[in-house]
Amino acid sequence: MITSEDLEYHFSDKDDYTWGETYYIPVSIPEERIFGHIYVVVRPVLGCMQNDIRFMGCVSETEFEALYADTRFHLPAPKRFSHIQGPNGLSIKAIKPPRDYRIDYVGRDGTELRMDIIGIMNPFDIHDPKENPLAGKTEDERWARSSMGSGYKGHYDMHGRFTGTLKLRGKEYKIDIVDRMNHSWGPRPELDIPPMNSLWAQFGEDLGFRFHMHLDPTRPTGQDQKFAHGYLLDNGDVMAIMDVEMTTTRLGVTPIIFDALVTDQRGRKHQLRGVPIVGAPWRAYGNAICWIGLIRWELNGKIGHGSAQENHSLVIEAGLRGRRWDERIPALTG
């Protein structure tokens, strides 16, 4: 169970420099085809913080076509995780932890964000067996099932009502959407960021999906993803997802179609299909390339939106795809 105490640091004197505490907070405006995020990684033992604030307006295979990017890796760590304030103009404050938040950002080139998050559910604790029947019994099992290894020693996801305004290079847009944010903590060695998927889809306040997948780049399409954990929000009731069968069609690292058959805790099945309307690669860590984007989801004729993140490990991909100058480039990659 997640409590207000989980909005503060979790590390101890026994933890080393790899310990990380993170936020992922999306900024979604589907009617304008604008998507962005606030990403925070604090390394409290080192005393430093990474922030990534960016906004996109098209589907791209390169970071160069982002509308705005402010990435900094060596900011001072805040004294409290519950109120992050940085010299880059970013403030994230837990107003009523662990459900309600206020985000303010004053950046460059006429770019500002004012956004409130009001949780419409209690945060979903992936390691609490009362909430997630698939949670492991031992710490090793929990890490193995988490999709992020030790980096998800602690992790929660939460749907909420996101409202506010984004001023992007001087032009103002309204934010009013049901979206999803998360918070994680644990040892997160930069060389060991694993291949994984993180997806969510929401159809107003009544229905929302959130699920994580393990990704195995050595296996062919259709067999490369295995369900890790997730939940379904259905008319105010939160229940675990028990299985997801997913196939992703990609062009390079860019997903172009997601097909997901979701089985919830009641045994009901939900067939989701998603296509990106905004997105691009993103380098959250030096050794990982993550494609992120806003997805248009369809479910039984209903249209919803939500994001997808597909993380690729440069360490693993170099072992699979690395080549010398005189070797033939593969025509197709699975």
Instruction: Give tens-digit pLDDT for 108-117.
Output: 999 999 999 9
**Would you state the pLDDT for residue 321?**
87
Predicted TM-score (pTM) of this structure: 0.95
**Would you state the pLDDT for residue 291?**
97
pLDDT, mean over the chain: 96
Among candidate residues 59, 303, 28, the one with its CA nearest the CA of residue 159: 28
For residue 324, pLDDT beyond 60 = yes
> Alpha carbon of 283 to those of 124, 294, 324: distances in Å?
27, 17, 24
Among candidate residues 316, 304, 186, 211, the one with its CA nearest the CA of residue 262: 211
More confident site: 321 or 47: 47
Least confident of 175-179, 216-220, 254-258, 329-333: 329-333
CA distance 238 to 332: 41
Amino acid at the residue 136: G
User: Which residue carries 């390169």 as its tokens?
Assistant: 62
CA distance 98 to 181: 11
**Would you state the pLDDT for residue 329?**
74
**Exposure string over 28-61, b if 16+ CB within 10 A, otherwise e:** bbbeeebbbbbbbbbbbbeebbbbbbbbbbbbbe
Q: Residue 80: count other Cβ atoms within 10 Å of its Cβ.
A: 13
Name residues whose C-beta falls within 8 Å of residue 159's C-beta, 6 or more positions apart in sequence. Answer: 119, 120, 121, 178, 179, 180, 200, 202, 208, 210, 233
User: With 0-12 CB in 10 A as exposed, 13-18 as middle and 19+ as buried, what is 275?
Assistant: middle
pLDDT band for position 328 (cuts 50, 70, 90): confident
Contact 307, 26 (CB under 8 A): yes
